[in-house]
């Protein structure tokens, strides 16, 4: 197990409050896209193509190393300290990394520095142990590790002292990885099996099996209930490798045999079922003769609103096409519509 010090300034903007509010940490370098499946050489090339003209090759190489640490070297369960510069705050936050790397497309912009939405798309979920810890209380080896680097690995001595310090404040079992309870694991696996047996269309069954397998892996590695950003990032990545149309990402793409609609927000939110269903129905009208099946993954379901506003259109489309809507919760899967 390791410990890490992270400066909360992706794209040179202090994001400490967002980190604490939404339970994640992030780094900058916007504009280079999703790095989920990229090796170090590809990360460097993406940086070089976008940043070398303004900042030079050394900057790109150093940046690639920092990104690689954040993306691949940190393990789920390890400790992270978010440490603002003294001029901004004398308090630090300490947490446990609660997810692998994920990418939030919304925050990958480079040109709108004042709108609050850009520059911190490369993320990891965190369970915070201490959100407002005076840095003066930290063990000396930790404070000596502070530097100007974006991310720094804590020395073994510093890590051991940090664990002792946190345990003295009532945080137990810091050197053990979280594991899903056997009961929850069985519930999720059973629900997945039931859904697989219930879907009648072989191609949609294959799509569900692939997507659900990645969802289960996320559940296994994270105890946080705030996993929806992570799910979206990973499912978009998985779907990109399939010959499907993906909503809300591929609104203007050509017609495909199948589409996947991902609605992991509140029912009426920007990417909730209400909005994604409307995008999908527009696709149905345009691709009536090409599309044969649609599968929805959603985290919020309103049965009354669905019956009132969508069921008639879904039923009409389902006379010649396959539709399955899967509700995803922290404890598994269920089919809420099949036509």
Contact 126, 25 (CB under 8 A): yes
Close Cβ partners of 75 (under 8 Å, ≥ 6 residues apart): 1, 2, 97
Please compute Rg for the chain using Cα positions: 22
* C-alpha–C-alpha distance, residues 160 and 237, integer Å: 37
Percent of the chain with pLDDT over 90: 58
In the listed set 144, 168, 192, which residue is the last one of a domain according to the structure?
A: 168
* 188 and 328 housed in the same domain: yes
* 86 and 209 housed in the same domain: no
How far out from the chain centre does Cα 35 lie?
12
Average pLDDT of the chain is: 88
Of 33-37, 72-76, 89-93, 212-216, highest mean pLDDT: 89-93
* 290 and 327 housed in the same domain: yes
Helix H segments across 199-289? 202-221, 228-240, 273-286
Report the pLDDT averaged over residues 61-83: 93
For residue 173, is it within any domain?
A: no
* 36 and 69 housed in the same domain: yes
Per-residue pLDDT tens over the stretch 158-204: 888 998 899 898 887 666 666 677 888 889 999 999 999 999 889 99
In the listed set 168, 202, 229, which residue is the last one of a domain according to the structure?
A: 168
* 161 and 192 housed in the same domain: no
Domain hosting 48: range is: 3-168
Report the pLDDT averaged over residues 212-219: 84
3-state class (DSSP) for residue 312 = helix
Residue 112 pLDDT more than 60?
no
* 293 and 271 housed in the same domain: yes
* Among 140, 102, 77, 96, CA closest to 6: 96
Per-residue pLDDT tens over the stretch 286-338: 898 999 999 999 999 999 999 999 999 999 999 999 999 999 988 899 999 99
* C-alpha–C-alpha distance, residues 300 and 277, integer Å: 13
The sign of the torsion formed by the CA atoms of 246, 248, 252, 257 equals: positive
* Among 161, 98, 94, 96, CA closest to 130: 94
Q: Using 50, 70 and 90 to split pLDDT, how confident is the model at 95?
A: very high
Domains of the chain: total? 2
* 98 and 245 housed in the same domain: no
* Among 32, 23, 39, 223, CA closest to 126: 23
* C-alpha–C-alpha distance, residues 24 and 248, integer Å: 23
pTM value?
A: 0.71
* 100 and 235 housed in the same domain: no
* 187 and 152 housed in the same domain: no
* 157 and 189 housed in the same domain: no
In the listed set 123, 143, 168, which residue is the last one of a domain according to the structure?
A: 168
Residue predicted with more confidence, 116 or 243: 243
Contact 126, 98 (CB under 8 A): yes
Q: Output the domain CATH number for residue 144.
A: 3.10.590
DSSP per position, 46-110 = HHHHHHHHHH-HHHHHHHHHHHHIIIII--TT-EEEE---TTT-SEEEEEEE-S--EE-GGG--S
* C-alpha–C-alpha distance, residues 119 and 55, integer Å: 17
Report the pLDDT averaged over residues 40-56: 94
Q: How far apart are the first and last CA of the chain?
A: 48
Close Cβ partners of 1 (under 8 Å, ≥ 6 residues apart): 75, 77, 78, 79, 159, 175
* C-alpha–C-alpha distance, residues 104 and 24, integer Å: 12
């Amino acid at each position: 197990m390791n410990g890490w010090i992270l400066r909360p300034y992706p794209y040179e903007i202090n994001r400490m409050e967002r980190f604490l509010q939404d339970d994640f940490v992030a780094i900058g370098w916007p504009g280079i896209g999703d790095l989920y499946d990229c090796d170090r050489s590809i990360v460097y090339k993406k940086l070089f193509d976008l940043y070398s003209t303004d900042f030079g090759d050394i900057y790109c190489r150093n940046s690639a190393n920092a990104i690689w640490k954040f993306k691949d070297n940190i393990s789920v369960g390890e400790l992270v300290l978010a440490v603002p510069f003294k001029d901004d705050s004398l308090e630090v936050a300490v947490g446990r990394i609660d997810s692998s790397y994920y990418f939030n497309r919304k925050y990958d912009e480079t040109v709108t520095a004042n709108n609050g939405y850009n520059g911190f798309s490369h993320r990891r979920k965190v369970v915070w142990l201490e959100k407002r810890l005076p840095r003066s209380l930290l063990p000396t080896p930790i404070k000596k590790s502070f530097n100007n680097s974006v991310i720094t690995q804590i020395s073994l001595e510093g890590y051991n002292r940090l664990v002792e310090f946190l345990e003295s404040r009532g945080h137990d079992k810091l050197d053990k990885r979280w594991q899903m309870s056997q009961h929850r694991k069985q519930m999720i696996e059973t629900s997945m099996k039931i859904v697989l047996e219930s879907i009648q269309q072989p191609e949609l069954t294959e799509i569900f099996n692939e997507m659900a397998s990645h969802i289960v892996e996320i559940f296994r590695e994270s105890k946080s209930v705030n996993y929806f950003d992570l799910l979206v990032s990973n499912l978009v990545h998985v779907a990109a490798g399939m010959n499907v149309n993906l909503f809300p990402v591929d609104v203007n793409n050509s017609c495909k045999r199948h589409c996947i609609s991902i609605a992991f927000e509140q029912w009426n939110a920007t990417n909730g079922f209400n909005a994604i269903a409307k995008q999908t129905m527009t696709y149905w009208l345009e691709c009536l003769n090409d599309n044969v099946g649609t599968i929805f993954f959603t985290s919020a379901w309103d049965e009354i609103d669905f019956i009132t506003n969508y069921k008639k259109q879904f039923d009409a489309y389902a006379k010649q096409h396959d539709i399955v809507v899967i509700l995803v919760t922290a404890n598994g899967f269920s089919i809420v519509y099949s036509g």
